[in-house]
Amino acid sequence: MAAADKKADPMSCQVVLAGAVAKDLLTEVSEGLSKLGKSPLLVGFLANTDPAARKYADWTDRTCRENGFKFEVREVDREDLEANVLAANEDDGVDGIIVYYPIFGNRQDQYLQQVTDVSKDVEGLSHRYIFKLYHNERFLDKNMSQKSLLPCTPLAVLKILDFLRVYNSILPYGNRLFGRSITVVNRSETVGRPLAALLANDGACVYSVDVTGVQQFTRGEGIRKSRHEVVEKEGWGLETCVPLSDVVICGVPGDSFKLPTKLLREGAVCINFSTEKNFEGDVKDKASIYVPAIGKVTIVMLLRNLLRLVQNREVRMDSKEQALKTILSQRV
């Protein structure tokens, strides 16, 4: 009788671990690496005492070495960080650069994000990449031979949604989230806002939530616009947008925030990208799929971006060589 009275674990909720998603994506990365004929070097700059940054650096080191990439962490004083990044920009032996934030925790960090040369910015935070993201442009050049980079954490969330079949493969590429309503609880400039833009650019109706309120990101009625637009939702809060959402994505730093399970619609997909647990313990009572962390996928996206940097560099070199041959042939 006691066993019968004991509450059973929710059987309708599938918990998906980041490692399962990362495994498939690593195959794609390995295939790309095999075509390079070299092991790209990623340099990580650690200039803080944040345990999460240290953990991220350790994960990056292990994942790089397990998958044929070279990784070197350089611990520097934050006052010397800019000079060290500039030196790495000029070092031909360095293929990619990552800086583990926060450093100063203010606008100076935004400045430092632009110090890394765009050709080595593995995080995809340089202005050129962010501009392309917000304008829904996928390539850096008119010939569409160099793909733009996306920030690693937002890209990881997109890959997880694709793995979970939230993207509708029947629809045309670029519209595959049409009909989906998604709430993103975080509107930081490095993760939350870019993520909302990417989801909306792919066709979703996105409710972006932070302490100031709710903004709606969409491509307009019938996704007729080529890129997203933003509308303030006056008077809205979590209690308004979460019950409307097929997917709820949380990334609030600190351990004080918990999204109330009672707000979730039945069968919602819930993804947590904070280092803390943003969902209440009973989230599986309402969710159909729960992803408790995404770190391992984020690191694979870091390697994917590193590959893309090297591939783009090779395209530029080939273009220069071809241009030089054309000039020389005209002189003969």
DSSP 26: H
Closest by CA to 48, choosing from 13, 120, 99, 85, is 99
Backbone angles phi, psi at 190, to 5 degrees: -95, -25
Task: Give dist(CA 46, CA 57) in Å, integer.
Answer: 8
By DSSP bridging, strand 229-233 and strand 213-218 are: antiparallel
Backbone angles phi, psi at 255, to 5 degrees: -105, 10
Burial class (CB in 10 A: 0-12, 13-18, 19+), 127: exposed
Residue 2 makes CB contacts below 8 A (sequence gap 6+) with none
Q: Which of 64, 152, 241, 250 is catalytic?
A: 152
* Residue ranges with strand state E in 161-294: 181-185, 205-210, 213-218, 229-233, 247-250, 269-272, 289-291
Local structure of 248: helix, strand or coil: strand
Task: Give dist(CA 203, CA 167) in Å, integer.
Answer: 10
172: preceding bond cis by omega (within 30 degrees): no
Backbone angles phi, psi at 15, to 5 degrees: -90, 120
The verdict on whether 205 is a catalytic residue reads no
Tokens, residue 322: 């071809």
Local structure of 16: helix, strand or coil: coil
Tokens, residue 300: 């694979």
Task: Give dist(CA 96, CA 89) in Å, integer.
Answer: 9
Q: Which residues are catalytic?
A: 152
